Amino acid sequence: MMKVFVSAQLPEITVNKLQAAGLDVTMYSGETLISHAELLAAVTDVDFLITPLSTQVDREIIDGAPKLKLIANFGAGFNNIDFTYARAKQIPVTNTPLVSTNAVAEVTLGLILALSHRIVEGDMLMRTTGFPGWSPLFFLGHEIAGKTLGIVGMGNIGQAVAQKARGLSMKVNYWQHHQLADPQERSLGAHYVSMDELLQTSDYISINAPLNDSNFHQFNAAAFKQMKSTAALINVGRGPIVDEAALVAALQAGEIGGAALDVYEHEPKVTAGLTAMKNVILTPHLGNATVEARNAMGNIVADNVLAVAAQQAPQYVIN
């Protein structure tokens, strides 16, 4: 019987589908993330590894699993896996794209709205000192209608953010290495601009890009100095795209107006200084943390395992 190791607790739909197909499934049940040593010990005789993007699968793990036929990553990203080495060992690596698109786009707009209307700050006020009553100039925020949103990364998620932002009467600009085709760009009501123009003109900047060699610390001290002093940065892409030490310095100096982060440069650690700022919202990487998205992701990884077990090609191979 082929063996599957699942290195984190996943939706029941995933395990049930695999067990119904007659596979021997073991799922890590610890309360914390699995350690490297625990993962190494668990994969010695497994045929399939299902792992979340929070777990590092390096050469040692791959070499420690001589029967391994597939690494199915539970997440759209795959920077946690040495997929180049896996390819050299003829082990396909898959991910779960597309199904997270709507959830992450909703969170992006939710963070923009929460930051603009000071919703989190207001909640904290009501849970502590309370407020003296309604008054005309008390606790003012800003409406997002008519404001300019700059999107960095116009893939599926960036496009979904653009659609939702246009529905909220925002002007949408975007930057990535290539411009969208004309019909697609016009259907989104988005405008392609240079990175410098995006930094200088945006009221909100949303990072919806994957991490690659070219955008590490793309948002650094120089970038923050180009932004409006009232602008807000929203990062739901990947943490290391932002130099968080430079972000703290920019916020403290008043170079930008605020930030909302769902991903972190040194995840799960938060850079010192961010937690003390009222104009910063911090969420625990919950971009696609919905029942709908996680169940869909679970179906993808299970289906890919079953495909390889049946000597068929899996979907969404990234290597």
> What positions carry a catalytic annotation?
238, 267, 285
Q: 203 Cβ partners below 8 Å, 6+ apart?
A: 144, 147, 148, 149, 228, 230, 231, 232
Look up residue 11 and give its two tokens.
Answer: 């939706």
- Kindly report the CA angle at 259 between 258 and 262, in degrees rounded to 5? 165
The distance between the two most distant Cα atoms of the chain, rounded to a whole number of Å, is 70
CA–CA separation, 98 and 180 (whole Å): 18
DSSP string over the chain: --EEEESS---HHHHHHHHHTT-EEEE---SSPPPHHHHHHHSTT-SEEEEETTS-B-HHHHHT-TT--EEEEESS--TTB-HHHHHHTT--EE---STTHHHHHHHHHHHHHHHHTTHHHHHHHHHTT------TTTT-----TTPEEEEE--SHHHHHHHHHHHHTT-EEEEE-SSPPPHHHHHHHTEEE--HHHHHHH-SEEEE-----TT-TT-B-HHHHHHS-TT-EEEE-S-GGGB-HHHHHHHHHTTSS-EEEESS-TBTTB--TTSTT-TTEEE--S-TT-SHHHHHHHHHHHHHHHHHHHTT-PPSSB--
Look up residue 107 and give its two tokens.
Answer: 């969170």
